Structure 1
Amino acid sequence: MATAYWLLSAHPVPGSAATEWTERGIALLPLGTLMSAVRLPQDLVRAVADRYGREDVDSFLEEVLDGGPVICDPQGDRARYYALVPAGMPTRWRMAVMEWRALGVKCLGLGSYVGVPRPQSVSLEPGTWKSYWAVPMPSAGELCRPLDVARLVAAGRQLTGDEQ
């Protein structure tokens, strides 16, 4: 419950996110105050997971991001993963974030939003393309460490040969 309340507190209109969860299963939450997000393309994440012989991408992400929360937006063959990170990451990691764009990685902060599934949505619902928690948020405010995300992106860069 604490995690749900923490996430809900990101919405500027009290009660709106809870209504969105009830009606749609996803709440659109603003980024840059409580948290930011690093959007990782499925191809990059799968390349790194495959390199380590891991077929289950969700459990791979849980391991390499040390249990930090990740949302999967399945969208068919264009799936994306959103690693939730501290709000200040887009500013503090500005140079790295600019380099990551060539890989399709984007750091989202102030002025951006992310679709956040209900905390109990921890797997892809059959027959839908609804977002789910690939790695559930372990507790309120516990986010991915930026260095862990950077290491994942660096491994992806190395595997794709994009060494700019």
Structure 2
Amino acid sequence: MIRLAAPADLPRIVEIYNAAIPGRLATADTEPVTVEARRAWFEKHGPRRPIWVDERDGEVIGWASLTDFYGRPAYGATAELSIYVAPEAQRRGVARALVAHAVAASPALGLTTLLGFVFGHNAPSLALLGGFGFVRWGHLPRVAVLEGVERDLDIVGLRLG
């Protein structure tokens, strides 16, 4: 069941996010974050830029968020989509369900464009988003350093409607 995240979900959201850090595929954070450090981020989200969780058998196993792009009013119809899935729930369709939900919900939120910022070596995420029609709109070569390796960042986009 995909539903809006509640404040009580924040510890699990952080736990899932932190589980992605060691894999060096999904985030540029290199050290775990704390619940307290993510509280302001969580509270910034709301009806216009929600966080959704996928809850199955009473446990949150993945989450998606929409975040303002670039913080200027002219970009108000554009949002960045982020998806994270608990390691034990990967390859079970959770990410696909979250992307589908976000894409379907976005027009009602006044969005015309979704963006994804994905490391170039993250083939699974690029393929997932590509399956929904996201295409590469930008390529930033070697802008991140993870474990001493320079990594590219791809910007993928989807026009809605």
Alignment TM-score > 0.5, same fold: no
TM-score normalised per structure 2? 0.27
Name the structure where helix makes up a greater proportion of residues: 1
Q: Which has the higher contact order (CA 8 A, sep 6+)?
A: 1
Name the structure where strand makes up a greater proportion of residues: 2
TM-score normalised per structure 1? 0.26
